[in-house]
C-alpha cells in the first residue's frame, strides 16, 4: 500500500545549510566589493554604514528567503512517492499554496535586496512608468533609500511569517487552526502588497491611505498570531528571540509607513 503522507522533514537539513552557505557567499561578495573593489569609488548605497542590527536582520532575511525558495522544491524531490500522487493532500491542507507563496516571497526579497544594494531603484522605476511619462515630473514623497528599506522590511515580515507557518506545518502537524488562520491572512494581503509595492516605486513614495492602513493592520494581525504560535508551541528562549527580532522589524516598518508615506 502506498504511503500518501508527505514527509515535511525530508531535505530540511540540506535546505538550511544551503541557504546559510548561499547567504554567506552573498555577504562575502558584498564585503569584497565594498572594501576591495570600491576602495576608490564607494557605492552610492553603502550597505555597511547601516547599524549592525539591521545588517543582521538583512542577513537573516537572506537566509530565510533562500530557505523559502529552496525548501518547497527540495522537500518534494525527497519524497518517497511522486508528487502527483500527493497533490490532493497538499491542496486540502493548503500547503501547495504555501509552497508557491514561499517561492514568490523568497524571490521577491532576494531581488529587492539585490536592487537595493546595486542601486537599481531608478532602473526599476523607469520600467514601471515607461508608458506614463508624466510621472517623471512627480516629486518624491520619500527618498529612494527609504522606499527600498520600507519594501525590504515589508518583505522580511511576510517572509518571517511564512517561515513560522512552515515551522508550524513541519513540527506541529496536530495543531493546524492557527497555522490556517495565519495562511489565510498572508494569502489575503499578499496580492495587495504586490500592487502597493509597485505603486510605491512608480509614484515615488505614494500610496492610497486605504492600502497603507490595510497593510499595517495585517502586519499587526500576523505579528500577534506569530506571537501566539511561538509562545504556545516553542521554547521560551526561541519565542522571545523571534518576537524581539520580528517586533523590531515591524516597529521600524510601521514608523516609516506612518511618517513617510502619504497619499495625494
Name the packing angle between helices 209-233 and 177-202 (round to 10°). 150
Q: pLDDT averaged over the chain?
A: 79
pLDDT in tens, 17-54: 999 999 999 888 877 776 666 555 554 445 555 567 77
Whether pTM exceeds 0.75: yes
Over its C-alpha atoms, the chain yields an Rg (Å, rounded) of: 20
Question: What is the average pLDDT across 242-257?
Answer: 91
pLDDT in tens, 184-197: 888 888 888 888 88
Amino acid at each position: 500500500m502506498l504511503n500518501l503522507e508527505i514527509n515535511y522533514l525530508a531535505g530540511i537539513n540540506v535546505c538550511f545549510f544551503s541557504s546559510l552557505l548561499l547567504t554567506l557567499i552573498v555577504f562575502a561578495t558584498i564585503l569584497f566589493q565594498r572594501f576591495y573593489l570600491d576602495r576608490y569609488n564607494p557605492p552610492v548605497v553603502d550597505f555597511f554604514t547601516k547599524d549592525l542590527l539591521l545588517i543582521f536582520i538583512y542577513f537573516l532575511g537572506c537566509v530565510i528567503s533562500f530557505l523559502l525558495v529552496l525548501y518547497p522544491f527540495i522537500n518534494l524531490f525527497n519524497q518517497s512517492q511522486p508528487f502527483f500522487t500527493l497533490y490532493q493532500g497538499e491542496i486540502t491542507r493548503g500547503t501547495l499554496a504555501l509552497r508557491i507563496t514561499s517561492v514568490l516571497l523568497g524571490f521577491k526579497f532576494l531581488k529587492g535586496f539585490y536592487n537595493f544594494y546595486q542601486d537599481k531603484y531608478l532602473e526599476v522605476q523607469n520600467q514601471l512608468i515607461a508608458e506614463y511619462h508624466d510621472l517623471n515630473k512627480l516629486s518624491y514623497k520619500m527618498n529612494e533609500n527609504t522606499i527600498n528599506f520600507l519594501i525590504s522590511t515589508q518583505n522580511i515580515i511576510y517572509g518571517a511569517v511564512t517561515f513560522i507557518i512552515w515551522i508550524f506545518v513541519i513540527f506541529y502537524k496536530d495543531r493546524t487552526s492557527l497555522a490556517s488562520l495565519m495562511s489565510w491572512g498572508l494569502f489575503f494581503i499578499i496580492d495587495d502588497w504586490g500592487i502597493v509595492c509597485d505603486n510605491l516605486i512608480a509614484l515615488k513614495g505614494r500610496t492610497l491611505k486605504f492600502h497603507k492602513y490595510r497593510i499595517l493592520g495585517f502586519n499587526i494581525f500576523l505579528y500577534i498570531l506569530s506571537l501566539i504560535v511561538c509562545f504556545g508551541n516553542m521554547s521560551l528562549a526561541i519565542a522571545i528571540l523571534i518576537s524581539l527580532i520580528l517586533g523590531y522589524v515591524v516597529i521600524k516598518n510601521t514608523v516609516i509607513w506612518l511618517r513617510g508615506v502619504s497619499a495625494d
